[in-house]
Chains A and B, each alone.
Chain A
Amino acid sequence: MAKDILEKPKGFHDVYFYKPGDDKENTHYCPGCGHGTAHKLIAEALEDFGVADRTIMISPVGCSVFVYYYFATGNIQAAHGRAPAVGTGLKRANPDSIVISYQGDGDLGAIGGNNILQAANRGENITVFFINNAIYGMTGGQMAPTTLLGQKTMTTPYGRSIQNEGYPIKICELLASLESPTYLERVAITDTKHIMKARLAIRKAIKTQIDNKGFSLVEILSPCPTGWRMTPVDAKKWITEKMMDYFKLGVFKDLTKERKPYSPPKMNLNLDEVEEKLGLKEKPPTFPSTMSDIKEQYRNPRIKVAGFGGQGVLMLGNLLAETGMLHDYNVSWLPSYGPEMRGGTANCQVHIDEGQIGSPVVTDSTVLVAMNKPSLDKFEPDVVPGGLILYNTSMIDRKPERTDVEAIPVPATEMADEIGSLRVANMIMIGAYLQKTGILTKDSIFAALDIAIKHKQFIPMNRQAIEAGIEHVKNMD
């Protein structure tokens, strides 16, 4: 055994060429530090399993920030605590790689607490080696989330207290409460017996990933003689007597037998299939321009549609723009968005224009479709002289005050109710608008309807409502 540990595993570089300075053969770790042993066990396992080529090691922030000096694998350095998120990206982008996140207690348990929790909870098929040495080593011996009660550090000079810092966090126990993780074990780097157990746990964790069985983590209680201000011998004794008393060793979860291997399906689409799936192969019908056939004041409209959220205001505008596009006009549709849509008032602004559309905002509208009274109150003054107002008399108990505009009353909600759904009041308005202006045709609206309505079973009722709107205006003439 002693021979094994002294010999450099092939998972390590022969010469640490990424390490600056003249010494390319020894690690940067302090005498008695546990990192070296943990590294060796991992490197040996990677080589034994024949996966070193496929492996990407993530260096954390902490003393092991220089993990990449040593491992003869692909290497990436991550921001403090983010290794599980970086590992998620690595593994999702290349599921054939073996992703190993090597993290300390501050990195994993404090600043990256949510990242490890969520990666474990997603059951990411990655392996995490969590070095718990109850202290921040690299930054000079400050408190870690795993610092023991009463333990003195640079930031707990009087000892960690329950009242000020709370209890040390038990990561394995915490993660074991989740359904997703496959394998969780806590081991210690102290004597040969414990190191052998750590070796087995490390191998099992890596094997879990190789077998595509999901998330594995090994928590390693590891000595930090420098941070603890102890001799290496005392440090190991302290782990045995103090740390193991609070952080119990053992397997916290092992579903390696029960879990079925899973690897994400691979799909190789050709470019045509990509365009097909994005809906770019569809050829909507086209319709001729109508502008020259219609009255001057109805050309190139700037439309404002307004009403309650739920009255189909945005869809009404969407359909106008969609239809305009089928006539090969330039169009734009600008909605009010966000919480306004959820129960409050909604409006949208539509341009249909033969020429280029500059501002998509409609301030001086040529057409106002008012589905309720607040909308008429608010937007009536903005209509240009000679403009058109269609207003829903089912919801509006007054006529427009303006005398310099055309006003078309439409009992849209009542008519929709007769058809069978209040939700098609918007379509009644569209029918009324197209009949009044002629800018869009029934055929083009119906074609746009086929594109814009996702649930095809509603198309007949919407068509019926459009027809009803058309008839309503015809009967007014």
Chain B
Amino acid sequence: MTKELIKGNEAVVKGALLAGCKTFFGYPITPASEIAHAAAKFFPILGRTFLQGESEVASINMCYGAASTGVRAMTASSGPGISLKQEGISYAAGSELPIVIIYIMRGGPGLGNIAPEQGDYNQVVKGGGHGNYKTMVLAPNCAQEMCDLTIHAFDVADKYRNPVYVFTDGFIGQMMEPVEFPKARELNIKKDWALLGNRETRDNLVNSIYLDPHELEDHEIHLQEKYREMEENEVMFEEYKLDDAELVTMGFGIVSRILKTTVDKARKKGMKVGLLRPITLFPFPKKQIKDVAEKAKSFLVVELNNGQMVEDVKASIFYSKPVHFYGRMGGVVPSVNELLDKLEEIY
């Protein structure tokens, strides 16, 4: 299979098109703009829809409309834009619409900067918009996964009728790596609930309003059931040199790449260190972390934020082992040597 040297942000678009995505609605923002650029280039020549919305709010609502017709719909943005999209994402979760949202993180609250921070973990993993809902969150760490997990995102979005994030940092979006693209696929997904604009679907309703408290509770119980199923069936993670690891490092996105090299260097120094990388942030690999904790003595969680995923790691092991945290903020990315020093300090 031929490889193409391509930016993660562009691999997303080719992956989406191979997955049969029909519509892209977005608004430019660094460091996610290449996604809109590539979508603007490729969607029209394939007879598909690209439209730059007037705002992030409009773009996600355009996705809401498009997804309700049964076609695959996507958007892409970064922190400030995703904050604006939360209204629409909550509606999509409530109305059970499959939408794929590519989230390329930037730094800081407010305008912050465009450097690769990971401060938006809680925003997407814990909800983000209003109400009792969850979105699946896939966290690629290379250009290949930007393609593969985008395709997977469309599949699980349809499977669960739920919005799904492909969630990573500026480095993974901006970086170029060789990607092997899979074959284009024919889609034969039946969506009985969709608004097809025909007689058969004339009674269909896409809706998140349930005035009666008991009806709404039933609806929300149904949603929670879906989230539980995701936790049962959709967890993805990568293990690296964990067999005899006494100290388990954890990180996602660019951090996991740096940790991998750090683990190799630490091994050369005789330290029994491994890496457990969550690929799905929701559902979180709680059980796998708990299993690893049976043998490991301690954990080191590294994030480009103030300590967000680390709380989920601690809860996963019921606070039974020491969980150390090393975080950088503002878009500062730690070097391998910096992490090696930290490992030596706590090992």
Which of chain A's residues 324-355 have a Cβ closer than 8 Å to chain B?
325, 330-335, 337-339
Collect the chain B residues with CB atoms within 8 Å of residue A357's CB: 177, 257
Asked if A94 and B69 sit within 8 Å, CB to CB, the answer is yes
Number of A-B contacts (CB under 8 A): 240
Chain B, residue nearest A382 (CB): B335
Asked if B176 and A82 sit within 8 Å, CB to CB, the answer is no
Least CB distance from B238 to A in Å reads 12
Collect the chain B residues with CB atoms within 8 Å of residue A280's CB: 2, 4, 14, 181
Collect the chain B residues with CB atoms within 8 Å of residue A87's CB: 65
Per the bound structure, the CA–CA distance linking A78 and B181 in Å amounts to 36
Asked if A268 and B196 sit within 8 Å, CB to CB, the answer is no
Per the bound structure, the CA–CA distance linking A341 and B257 in Å amounts to 25
* Cβ proximity bits B188-223 to A, threshold 8 Å, 1 near / 0 not: 000000011111011111111101100100000000
Query: What is the predominant secondary structure among interface residues of chain A facing chain B?
Result: mixed
> With contacts A274-B17, A334-B174, A363-B335 known, is A358 near B258, CB below 8 A?
yes
Question: Contact check: which of A52, A266, A277, A360 meets B45 at CB < 8 Å?
Answer: A277
How many chain B residues touch A (CB < 8 A): the figure is 80
Collect the chain A residues with CB atoms within 8 Å of residue B83's CB: none
Asked if A275 and B184 sit within 8 Å, CB to CB, the answer is yes
Least CB distance from A398 to B in Å reads 27
Highest count of chain B CB atoms <10 Å: which of A87, A93, A96, A268 = A93
B260 within 8 A of A: yes
Question: Contact check: which of A277, A322, A361 meets B335 at CB < 8 Å?
Answer: A361
Interface stretch among B50-58, B155-163, B310-318?
B50-58
> With contacts A76-B195, A277-B45, A333-B175 known, is A93 near B73, CB below 8 A?
yes
Per the bound structure, the CA–CA distance linking A280 and B336 in Å amounts to 35
Asked if B22 and A93 sit within 8 Å, CB to CB, the answer is yes
Collect the chain B residues with CB atoms within 8 Å of residue A78's CB: 61, 64-65, 91
> With contacts A275-B183, A279-B4, A280-B2 known, is A53 near B22, CB below 8 A?
no
B46 within 8 A of A: yes
* Cβ proximity bits B28-59 to A, threshold 8 Å, 1 near / 0 not: 00110000000000100111010101110111
Asked if B2 and A94 sit within 8 Å, CB to CB, the answer is no
* Cβ proximity bits A305-338 to B, threshold 8 Å, 1 near / 0 not: 0000000000000100110010000111111011
B294 within 8 A of A: no
Question: Contact check: which of A52, A55, A268, A331 meets B47 at CB < 8 Å?
Answer: A268
Least CB distance from B240 to A in Å reads 9
Per the bound structure, the CA–CA distance linking A335 and B34 in Å amounts to 13
How many chain A residues touch B (CB < 8 A): the figure is 73
A245 within 8 A of B: no
Chain B, residue nearest A284 (CB): B2
Highest count of chain B CB atoms <10 Å: which of A87, A275, A322 = A275
10 A–B contacts, CB within 8 A, in A order: A55-B197, A56-B195, A74-B204, A85-B54, A93-B65, A114-B58, A278-B17, A334-B176, A338-B31, A359-B258
The 7 A-B residue pairs with the shortest CB-CB distance in the complex, in nearest-first order: A89-B65, A267-B47, A97-B197, A358-B261, A85-B61, A89-B62, A118-B54
Contacts from A to B (Cβ < 8 Å): 18, 20, 52-56, 59, 65, 68, 72-79, 82, 85-94, 96-98, 114-115, 117-118, 265-269, 271-272, 274-275, 277-280, 282-284, 318, 321-322, 325, 330-335, 337-339, 357-361, 363-364, 451
Contacts from B to A (Cβ < 8 Å): 2-5, 14, 17-18, 22-23, 25, 30-31, 42, 45-47, 49, 51, 53-55, 57-59, 61-69, 71, 73, 87-88, 91, 95, 114, 170-171, 174-178, 181, 183-186, 195-199, 201-209, 211-212, 215, 254, 257-258, 260-262, 264, 333, 335-337
Beyond the given A82-B57, A331-B178, please list 9 additional residue pairs across the A-B interface where CB-CB is below 8 A. A75-B207, A76-B68, A76-B195, A88-B25, A89-B23, A89-B63, A93-B66, A97-B196, A334-B174
